[in-house]
């Protein structure tokens, strides 16, 4: 029996419809030689410090930094997650072939590999179903073009490195700052990404708050309806600007050089998720999270490709060819879900 693991139930249902797995069971679907099951995103996570040593449950500076010799995994302590993991574990152990159909990206690879490790099936070879879209034709093509899972080992190593780095910085940093500066149970959360980003926001906010406007002068002249600007820096004293003005007054304007060159402007690339979030915020005032939710919903509706891939493209029978389709789709989705965009 071939077992296919998708990252979400919605994706699993679409794959099951293509491979003919139409019989529903608790936690999976079966048929035509396939068993299609699913995760709920992350079912497995890195252990906490107290899982290695119960004494580390008490936060103390003496125990820092704590870096395990070997990172270990555990199933997320949630009843539905643990129940679904047990289904996957049973299917994996009896499978003739395992297919990874988690999301096409670094995090999707990590989710599958962590589950594979916790089920004790790391020694079993598997194949990778790489889905950039959920249209029936795309799923069928991806099934024909599955690759050995070993070809994605570097992607997994990169994801694991990121996961463990987050753990090291987050666990040790949070405990250190909370013990040192936390009062009355106040948690000082530190993260590999969140803390530098927060620092940049605070720095910029401080610059805005302490900004003191200062008058300045610039030298400009108009010739044949064209404004020419002095190449010198701004003048912060009117007397300096007046001195330079007097030097040139009464002298003719002379064009000393005209340079012409041809340039080729390439068409703009299609959006990746980050650029899409910036555009939606600039044009409609949408938060990054609102754009992400809209993009994910459109992906599951087979209207766009996977939101986290490097370049996203519209999926509308080849009719739409530019990014206005994506922006319009997300705008409509937001309006339909009570997220009225702020038109700027």
List the pLDDT tens digit at each of the 344 positions of the chain. Answer: 999 999 999 999 999 999 999 999 999 999 999 999 999 989 999 999 999 999 999 999 999 999 999 999 999 999 999 999 999 999 999 999 999 999 999 999 999 999 999 999 998 989 999 998 888 999 999 999 999 999 999 999 999 999 999 999 999 999 999 999 987 778 999 999 999 999 999 999 999 999 998 999 999 888 888 888 888 888 999 999 999 889 888 888 888 888 899 988 888 777 778 888 888 899 989 898 899 888 888 888 878 876 665 444 444 433 333 444 445 555 454 544 554 444 43
Crossing angle of helices 106-118 and 79-94, in 10° steps, is 80
Q: What is the pLDDT of residue 89?
A: 97
Q: What is the pLDDT of residue 190?
A: 94
Q: What is the pLDDT of residue 302?
A: 79
Q: What is the pLDDT of residue 229?
A: 86
Q: What is the pLDDT of residue 160?
A: 95
For 2-158, CATH gives: 3.40.50.140
* pTM for this prediction: 0.70
Q: What is the pLDDT of residue 164?
A: 96
Q: What is the pLDDT of residue 85?
A: 97
Q: What is the pLDDT of residue 325?
A: 43
User: Is 138 buried (19+), middle (13-18) or exposed (0-12) by CB count in 10 A?
Assistant: middle
Please give the backbone phi and psi of residue 36, each rounded to the nearest 5 degrees, phi first.
Answer: -110, 115
Whole-number Cα distances in Å, 69 to 21, 27, 47, 72, 118: 43, 35, 13, 9, 18
Domain ranges for the chain: 2-158, 170-209, 214-259, 273-336
Closest CA to 8 of 307, 336, 332: 307
Residue 311 contacts by C-beta under 8 Å, 6 or more apart in sequence?
269, 270, 271, 272
Q: What is the pLDDT of residue 317?
A: 39
As given in the structure block, the two tokens for residue 295 are 């993009």
Q: Which of 28, 114, 156, 306 is catalytic?
A: 306
As given in the structure block, the two tokens for residue 174 are 């949070």
Q: What is the pLDDT of residue 142?
A: 94
- State the Cα–Cα distance between residues 69 and 180, nearest whole angstrom: 26
114 given a catalytic annotation: no
Q: Which residue has the tokens 């402007």?
A: 265
């Amino acid at each position: 029996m071939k077992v296919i693991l998708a990252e979400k139930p919605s994706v699993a249902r679409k794959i099951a419809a293509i491979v003919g797995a139409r019989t529903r069971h608790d936690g999976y679907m079966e048929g035509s030689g396939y068993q299609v099951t699913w995760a709920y995103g992350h079912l497995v996570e890195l252990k906490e410090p107290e899982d290695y040593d119960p004494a580390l449950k008490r936060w103390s500076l003496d125990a820092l930094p704590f870096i395990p010799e070997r990172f270990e995994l555990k199933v997320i302590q949630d009843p539905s997650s643990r129940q679904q993991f047990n289904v996957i574990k049973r299917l994996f152990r009896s499978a003739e072939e395992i297919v990874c159909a988690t999301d096409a990206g670094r995090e999707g690879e990590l989710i599958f590999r962590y589950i594979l490790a916790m089920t004790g099936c790391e020694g079993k070879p598997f194949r990778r179903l790489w889905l950039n879209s959920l249209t029936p034709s795309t799923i069928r093509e991806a099934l024909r073009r599955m690759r050995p899972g070993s070809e994605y080992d570097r992607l997994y190593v990169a994801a694991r490195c990121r996961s463990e780095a987050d753990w090291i910085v987050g666990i040790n940093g949070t405990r250190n700052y909370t013990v040192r500066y936390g009062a009355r149970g106040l948690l000082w959360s530190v993260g590999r990404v969140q803390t530098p980003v927060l620092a940049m926001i605070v720095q910029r906010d401080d610059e805005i708050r302490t900004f003191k406007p200062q008058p300045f002068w610039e030298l400009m002249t108009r010739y044949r309806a064209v404004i020419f600007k002095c190449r010198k820096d701004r003048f912060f004293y009117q007397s300096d600007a007046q001195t330079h003005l007097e030097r040139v007054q009464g002298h003719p304007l002379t064009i000393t050089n005209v340079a012409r060159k041809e340039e080729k402007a390439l068409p703009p690339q299609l959006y990746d998720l980050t650029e899409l979030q910036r555009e939606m915020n600039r044009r409609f005032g949408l938060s990054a999270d609102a754009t992400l939710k809209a993009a994910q919903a459109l992906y599951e509706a087979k209207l766009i490709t996977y939101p986290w891939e490097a370049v996203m493209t519209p999926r509308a029978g080849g009719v739409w060819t530019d990014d206005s389709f994506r922006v319009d789709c997300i705008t409509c989705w937001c309006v339909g879900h009570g997220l009225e965009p702020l038109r700027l």
